[in-house]
Structure 1
């Protein structure tokens, strides 16, 4: 099952994001094929203000664990995290 992890940064926490970025990227890469894609949301000033990651997990609880183990989450970057079941129907390379 696919899950969208939609995270919103706390205001004025860009430095927290930048300080933890190397660990965050290493964590995402460690997920291997479970990570389908990921990237930051950008604010009006073109600076990151949140994250979208789509992951494959057996259950919602497993997706919650993936989200909670993200170094950004551990560092307290996020004001809000929403995890929703997602169906990739358009341009899904696995469905070709």
Structure 2
């Protein structure tokens, strides 16, 4: 199952985000093929305000298990998380 995750930082969390970011990226690197794409959500000034992830897991429970241990969740950087099912048809210009 494929999921799109939009996670929004709490107010004033940019410094905390940058502090936690190495642990976040380390955890993301361990996800391997579960990641279809990922990046930061930007405000109008180009500053990070959250994250967007498109992930592939066998179940919503596996996604929830990942999120429960995500450093941005544990350190309360992300204030609001939205998850929807998605059907990725094209990634990196290639039909899936």
Q: Same fold judged by TM-score > 0.5?
A: yes
In 2, Cα distance between equivalents of 1:28 and 1:36 = 11
Contact 1:41 1:51 survives alignment (8 Å): yes
Moved over 6 A (4+): none
CA apart distance, 1:68: 2.2
Unaligned runs of 5+ in 2: none
Aligned residues: 95
**Other-structure match for 1:19:** 19
TM-score (norm: length of structure 2): 0.90
Q: Considering only aligned residues, what root-mean-square deviation do their CA atoms show, in Å?
A: 1.4
CA apart distance, 1:18: 0.4
The residue correspondences of 1:29-68 to structure 2 (distance < 5 A) are 29-68=29-68
The residue correspondences of 1:72-83 to structure 2 (distance < 5 A) are 72-83=72-83
CA apart distance, 1:28: 0.5
In 2, Cα distance between equivalents of 1:64 and 1:20 = 20
TM-score (norm: length of structure 1): 0.90
Contact 2:89 2:95 survives alignment (8 Å): no
